[in-house]
Structure 1
């Protein structure tokens, strides 16, 4: 194992053990570092300790020439800055060449969401007399009713649902856990699916799965599987809108804020670490607020 590999291995262990980072997070860090190491070799730079601020500037220029998005560049630079901060702290390098590298400003994209009238049709296409129809309806009600991420949805186990206090335990990013309330429609759909459809699907597997949502073979449903289900549901409607698990998450947050929900409460429900991540939804609600103002204020 050469020095670069040893440095990278130590950093990954630091993320896993000290920072308790998820597999997805550590994988993204590793990809960013290996990508930069490949660039270093192109420039005849062998070791991480030999990297200068000038090389970092060259790397930024190269990323721009390769047409990487601002978001991707920002993630790569942030990962490398953390990596070198670790190396500097452990006395493996004398300085952090990424400390002065400025991150490109992210473009402010407005989240896409679906209007309530459009959603109404979507909730009436599943065949509730079949196991898969019951499952699909439960997924739809849960995603829109809670705003959880598709990865969180697929990680839910049967034991995480508490019908008595009407909540579901969600295991979010960075292994953070939170309890999310279940609405009456989600409870009805989940109860039907668990009591009927899931039992039939579970019987198709060699051993019973703990996952709440199962595929047609009785195994755990994957995020890709959920996206496919939503695509098929939208094809059965007259709607022309794009729908995905993330669009339902955006819709959940937007509808709550439109009805006057407290932003801190929405932040907690979504599992956002920072309020700034939730504030983007206020841009979506501005048109709604303007409409209310024009319709109700005497001097509007």
Structure 2
């Protein structure tokens, strides 16, 4: 299989090589990790070949790679510049919550770490070390690395980066009533001066995504019918219609209290009066978890809701609709074993409790 344009490392020779017009050239770079130097040497090789080509009598048009080399070598794109272009292109193609995750991974975290570096100089080991942060869960690391891999592939520098497995959405992703009470007490006693406690209760009582609840406003709630209808949401790009969040009586009490507190605008706000943003919520939950002695994330409210619904025997299709999924595939993949196991155990208890014949 022909090598793709650009430098590549040959371990048997412990040197970088490049293929131009079906001919291999050894580059004067031997450090496997110095991709930036290899890329610069490759650009110099193309320039030298183009200069030699110009000094010869007229020839048929050169192949595309040499034709590009006739032009003055342009500086290699930096991570900051490429990430900005990538996000500009993605903005119109992604729902707002999904784009926000791309923006957080790249603009907020990747660019400050590698911004001035050429994209071609990044190595997989560096990205793995960058993502190894104690405040990030395995699921967060998995998603952030996936976003970086998508970006690097788009930028012409694909890398195979080890990603930790997604965290289980089973027992470890569920907060018991006792643990949740400790989290609420920590949020209440933290002196944060925000609506965090009300936000967490609403998340656990609706199964909605944190971004959906954080974005609720007084005007977006249908108070008479006890629901909210969201036109912009994560699943819209998959063909789903409006996202409908249903509110139980306890949740309606919380929302009504928030409406009385703020009057208009966002129902849930930070201590500074701003709407909750993902980064701020993650940071606050890390602090609350440490104070409560319980590992807790905002997303656990959603997992707890789904698990409780399945254990109670709510049909998968109904749970999927409440969670905002188009079908039952996600429920079956992540939560189905919970409901299935519960039903099996309940049936076994019923059989054991029946009086024996005779």
In structure 2, relative to structure 1, the CA distance for the partners of 1:214 and 1:9 (3 Å cut) is closer
In structure 2, which of residues 98, 101, 119 is the aligned counterpart of residue 24 of structure 1? 101
* d(CA) in 1 for partners of 2:140, 2:255: 38
Structure 1 portions without partners, runs of 5+: 88-92, 200-208
Tell me how far 1:164 sits from its aligned partner.
1.9
- Of Structure 1 and Structure 2, which has the larger fraction of its residues in helix? 1
In structure 2, relative to structure 1, the CA distance for the partners of 1:67 and 1:216 (3 Å cut) is closer
Tell me how far 1:253 sits from its aligned partner.
0.9
When normalised by structure 2's length, the TM-score is: 0.53
* d(CA) in 2 for partners of 1:67, 1:241: 23
Give the aligned partner of residue 301 of structure 2: 248
Give the aligned partner of residue 152 of structure 1: 212
In structure 2, relative to structure 1, the CA distance for the partners of 1:35 and 1:222 (3 Å cut) is closer
* d(CA) in 2 for partners of 1:38, 1:193: 41
Tell me how far 1:272 sits from its aligned partner.
4.9
In structure 1, which of residues 203, 209, 213 is the aligned counterpart of residue 268 of structure 2? 213
Structure with bigger RCO (C-alpha 8 Å, 6+ apart) = 1
Give the aligned partner of residue 202 of structure 1: none
Question: Is residue 4 of structure 1 aligned with residue 77 of structure 2?
Answer: yes
Larger Rg: 2
* d(CA) in 1 for partners of 2:181, 2:113: 48
When normalised by structure 1's length, the TM-score is: 0.61
Structure 2 portions without partners, runs of 5+: 1-73
* d(CA) in 1 for partners of 2:271, 2:111: 38
In structure 2, relative to structure 1, the CA distance for the partners of 1:63 and 1:276 (3 Å cut) is farther
Tell me how far 1:71 sits from its aligned partner.
5.1
Tell me how far 1:166 sits from its aligned partner.
1.7
In structure 2, relative to structure 1, the CA distance for the partners of 1:213 and 1:74 (3 Å cut) is closer
* d(CA) in 2 for partners of 1:118, 1:148: 20
In structure 2, relative to structure 1, the CA distance for the partners of 1:294 and 1:215 (3 Å cut) is same
In structure 1, which of residues 163, 174, 178 is the aligned counterpart of residue 243 of structure 2? 178
Residue range with higher mean Cα deviation, 13-22 or 271-280: 271-280
